[in-house]
Amino acid sequence: MELYKGETTGLKKIVPELFNLFFQYIPSWLFIVPLSLLIPSKKGFVLFIGRLHKEWGEEFSGNVKYLFIHALKSGYKKIVFLTSNRDTWETLKKEKIPVLFYPSLSSIWALIRTELIIVDGSEWIGEYRQFFLFPSRKIQLWHGVGFKFIELCEYRGKSSLMFFLRRVFKAVKQSSPRYDLVVSTSAFYTENVFSKCFRWRYIKEPGYSRCDIFFRKPDDLDLIGSDREIINNSRSWKNRGWKIIIYAPTFREGKMNSSFKDIFDLRKLDDFCEAHKIKFVLKGHPEQKLGSVDSCRNLWVYEESKDVYPLLPLTDLLITDYSSIYMDYLLLEKPVVFFPYDYDSYIKNDRELQFDYDWITPGPKYHMQEELEVGIIEMLIEGKDEYSERRKEILNLAFKYKDGNSSQRIWNYIKEKYLSEPQGK
């Protein structure tokens, strides 16, 4: 539970937070933390934990997934993926990939004994895990470079009391740990984002593991956790000369019950795609199901919980709004279109922006479906692209490396810095 979205909302959250303080956090400090300090760690043991989503637990995707795959392929034996998603657990177990289901006695034992955890979000914190992992070294890969305030930098505009209380509760429930390493993508993001928004000992700029998939053909391990049906269909239709567009909007906290039908006239969009030989993939945020597209022939819904990165190299155009996915997409040197149809309400009710939206987003902005369709024709069909140089500028600002070797750089550093010598608790 996060404090505080706004003062009124924040005050309503004080009571349950105080309840958790006395019945969860203080007992954890009194019993779990001392236990984790007494039991020695297992030398070289590394636990990977993906981002947790309310409906399906930890997903097998993102930077954690691809660094985990790299470590597996490198032959490192003392690694395990932790998940509270039973489907993910069964899938990885079937593939003979080291995995533990949480909560279980074996997973709790692993948490207590792990020497190093690797995460790419803050969702790993919770269900007492942060207390079992109190003495462990922690590496934060994070999950995107964009333009929204994150972590410790969120809610700066709220009252000083609310901001102070939020920081106190974060400290008590160990939701803002000091990371031994925070992974960045460039000097710009190190200076302006990661150095300010996390507590850290070291920051490095090797890039994002998940973007390595852009520079190689995905194999069976890469495709675990992805929507293989849509990936295969996209490849097939692309070979027939059709264009593939992906729409990937960000999460909207105030619109949990919205759907694709609230955003587009789906029938009209389907006819538009048919007329211009386009297959249109809609990928909702993992925290927000946006529904189906009925019987539309040219509109496909990519399952929200699935890893979309193996699909991106097959697409010809990305449409998004405030999601940081576009920044990674720039590595593919393909056009991006922005569809901030609810800009004013999003800024007011959802998230504050750290950078000027028009400056940081290198692509045309449309607010209605009709003008979006015209823009797609101009950019994708007619080849009118006025943003290619601007995309390169933002790409160079965001990524130091553009070579598909980020996993190798990160893993080599981890092995050298944290796994080469015995580390006790």
Highest average pLDDT, of 107-111, 122-126, 247-251, comes from 107-111
Residue 108 placed within a domain: yes
Which conformational region is residue 335 in: left (phi greater than 0), alpha (psi within -120 to 50 degrees), or beta?
A: beta
Residues 330 and 191 both lie in one domain: no
Whole-number pLDDT of residue 285: 80
Give percent above pLDDT 90 in the chain. 72
Work out the average pLDDT over 180-195.
Answer: 97
Domain membership of residue 1 (yes or no) is no
Cα gap 125→139, rounded to integer Å = 13
Average pLDDT of span 104-118? 97
Which pLDDT score, from 0 to 100, does residue 8 have?
42
Among 290, 41, 81, 63, which Cα is nearest to 181's? 63
Residue 103: give its domain's CATH number: 3.40.50.11820
pLDDT beyond 50 at 423: no
Q: Which tops the pLDDT comparison, 26 or 378?
A: 378
Range of the domain at 202: 7-210+404-419
Residues 141 and 256 in one domain: no
Of residues 162 and 214, the one with the higher pLDDT is 214
- Convert the pLDDT of each residue in 352-379 to its tens digit: 888 999 999 999 999 999 999 999 999 9
Q: Answer yes or no: pTM beyond 0.85.
A: yes
- Mean pLDDT for the stretch of residues 376-404: 96
Residue in 327, 285, 323 with CA at minimum distance from that of residue 189: 327
Is 425 among the domain residues?
no
Closest by CA to 304, choosing from 289, 325, 316, 323, is: 289
Side chain identity, residue 91: T
User: Mean pLDDT, to the nearest integer, of 59-70?
Assistant: 95
Q: According to the model, what pLDDT value does residue 132 have?
A: 97
Residue 5 is predicted with a pLDDT of 39
Element of type H or E holding 399? none
Per-residue pLDDT, 410: 98
- pLDDT tens digits for range 193-202: 999 999 999 9
204, 332: one domain: no
Backbone angles phi, psi at 49, to 5 degrees: -130, 120
261 plus 122 within the same structural domain? no
Domain count, the chain: 2
DSSP class per residue in 223-290: HTTB-HHHHHHHHHHHHTT-EEEEE-----TT-TT--HHHH--HHHHHHHHHHTTEEEEEE--TT---
On whether both 150 and 265 belong to a single domain, the answer is: no
Confidence band (pLDDT; 50, 70, 90) for 304? confident
Q: Which helix (H) or strand (E) holds 362?
A: none
- For the segment 4-16, what is each residue's pLDDT rounded down to a tens digit? 334 444 555 666 7
For residue 216, being part of any structural domain is answered with: no
Asked whether residue 376 falls in the same domain as residue 254, the answer is yes
CATH number, domain of 271, equals 3.40.50.12580
246 shares a domain with 198: no
Can you give the pLDDT at residue 163?
65
Can you tell me which residue has the tokens 């991006």? Answer: 336
Q: Are residues 347 and 258 in the same domain?
A: yes
| pLDDT tens track for 308-335 | 999 999 999 999 999 999 999 999 999 9
Tell me, yes or no, whether 167 lies in a domain.
yes
How would DSSP label each residue in 107-139?
HHHHHHH-SEEEESSSTTS-TTHHHHTTTSEEE
CA distances to 79, 81, 93, 210, 360 from 76, rounded to whole Å, are 7, 13, 18, 19, 39
What sign has the CA pseudo-torsion 201, 207, 212, 214? Answer: positive
301 lies in the same domain as 254? yes
pLDDT of residue 347: 85
Rg (CA), the chain: 22
The verdict on residue 388 lying in a domain is yes
- Amino acid identity, position 226: S
What tens digit of pLDDT does each residue of 247-290 get? 999 987 765 557 888 899 999 999 999 999 999 999 988 776 76
411's enclosing H/E stretch is helix 406-414
- Residue 32 corresponds to which amino acid? I
**Domain assignment present for 219:** no
Taking CB atoms within 8 Å and a gap of at least 24, the contacts of 123-126 are: 123/51, 123/52, 123/53, 123/58, 124/49, 124/51, 124/52, 124/58, 125/173, 125/174, 125/175, 125/177, 126/52
Residue 154, pLDDT > 50, answer: yes
Structural domain contains residue 144: yes
Helix, strand, or coil here: 216?
A: coil
Shared domain check, 252 and 200: no
Q: In terms of Cα–Cα distance, which of 311, 304, 320, 323 is closest to 279?
A: 311
Instruction: Tell whether the model's pLDDT for residue 425 goes beyond 60.
Output: no
Task: Give the model's confidence band at 130: pLDDT under 50 very low, under 70 low, under 90 confident, else very high.
Answer: very high
Q: Which range scores top for mean pLDDT: 157-161, 215-219, 419-423?
A: 215-219
Same domain, yes or no, for 191 and 282? no
The answer to which of 82-86, 349-353, 372-376 has the lowest mean pLDDT is 349-353
Q: What mean pLDDT is reported for the chain?
A: 89
130 in the same domain as 38? yes
